[in-house]
Structure 1
Amino acid sequence: MSNSAMLEQGDFEALSEFRYQLRRFLKFSEDAAQSVGLTPLHYLVLLHIKGFPGQDWATVGQLAERLQIRHHGAVSLVSRCEQAGLVTRTPGRQDRRQVLVRLTPLGETQLRHLAELHRNELRSLSKVFKVARISAFNDSEGTA
């Protein structure tokens, strides 16, 4: 018997609700970025630089991985962010081929504003995601 035969209506409803709420959040994020003159990808670049664990910069390769895009696409995106005054690029100290991307004060200001909006939106969705998570991960045996 395949796993799909074990799915019940509630499973489909939970998955549907999760995808709906996820899409609502992404639409909110796109609109919020555009409201301050950034593209959604610019916002994500800023977020991934600031949010990269253990450092206050990110390499172009790290950004490509986080954004799930090709390296040359990340280079182009970073160039656009640099032209907008949001980031700076510097060669790595140990490996000069490596490019370190850092936020400028403008990038930091834009990111903090948008991150606050996103945090508030996530808080408003937290109850929805808790309900979806509980529904989707409870099985008939009571294990999660």
Structure 2
Amino acid sequence: MSDDALTKQDFQRLSHFRYQLRCFLRQSEDICRRHGLTPLQYQLLLHLLGFEGREWASVGELAERLQAKHHGTVALIDRCEQLGLVERRPSHEDRRCIEVHLLPRGAELASRIAEQHQPELRHLQEEFCLPGWPEFR
């Protein structure tokens, strides 16, 4: 065995982390479905709400945030657009770029869902004593 071989405790920590992460994701999926959205639709809205420095994102930026393929992200945006949650707009600076903007209905829905995630986020923060993470309300 090499010096950097994982110990039983390493596996226990990783198992516990993955379990807590899965619990959070399962609860998130349930919250999203109660509001009539898929988890991916919510994540798209969340990334638009939380995009740093501006109120929109490009398809490529959203694909990166979602860790999804470009064409899959386009299809997701299509579905959200049909639901009246987002809209595409041509960029004022670069007409080749399409900006994806959150509409009021999408922002309100994402805010409501995000609020319901706060107790579980507080639990994760306490569970893992994550230094540098902001306090969750």
TM norm structure 1: 0.85
In the alignment, the residues of structure 2 paired with residue 54 and residue 120 of structure 1 have an alpha-carbon distance, to the nearest angstrom, of 27
Matched, 1:22 2:8: no
Aligned to 1:3: 4
CA apart distance, 1:10: 1.8
Aligned to 2:121: 122
TM norm structure 2: 0.89
Larger radius of gyration: 1
Percent identity (aligned) = 52
CA apart distance, 1:120: 2.1
CA apart distance, 1:61: 0.7
Aligned to 1:82: 81
In the alignment, the residues of structure 2 paired with residue 61 and residue 118 of structure 1 have an alpha-carbon distance, to the nearest angstrom, of 26
Aligned to 2:92: 93
SS of the aligned residue for 1:3 comes to coil
Code of the aligned partner of 2:92: R
Aligned to 1:46: 45
SS of the aligned residue for 1:88 comes to strand
Deviations for 1:92-129, whole angstroms, at most 9, x for unmatched residues?
A: 11111211111111101101001111122111232212
Code of the aligned partner of 1:21: Q
After TM superposition, which residue ranges in structure 1, 4 or more long, deviate above 3 angstroms?
none
Matched, 1:59 2:61: no
CA apart distance, 1:86: 0.5
Consecutive unaligned residues of structure 2, counting only runs of 5 or more, are 132-137
SS of the aligned residue for 1:37 comes to coil
Aligned to 2:11: 12
Higher helix proportion: 1
Aligned residues: 130
In the alignment, the residues of structure 2 paired with residue 78 and residue 54 of structure 1 have an alpha-carbon distance, to the nearest angstrom, of 21
Aligned to 2:32: 33
Code of the aligned partner of 1:49: L
Q: Which has the higher contact order (CA 8 A, sep 6+)?
A: 1
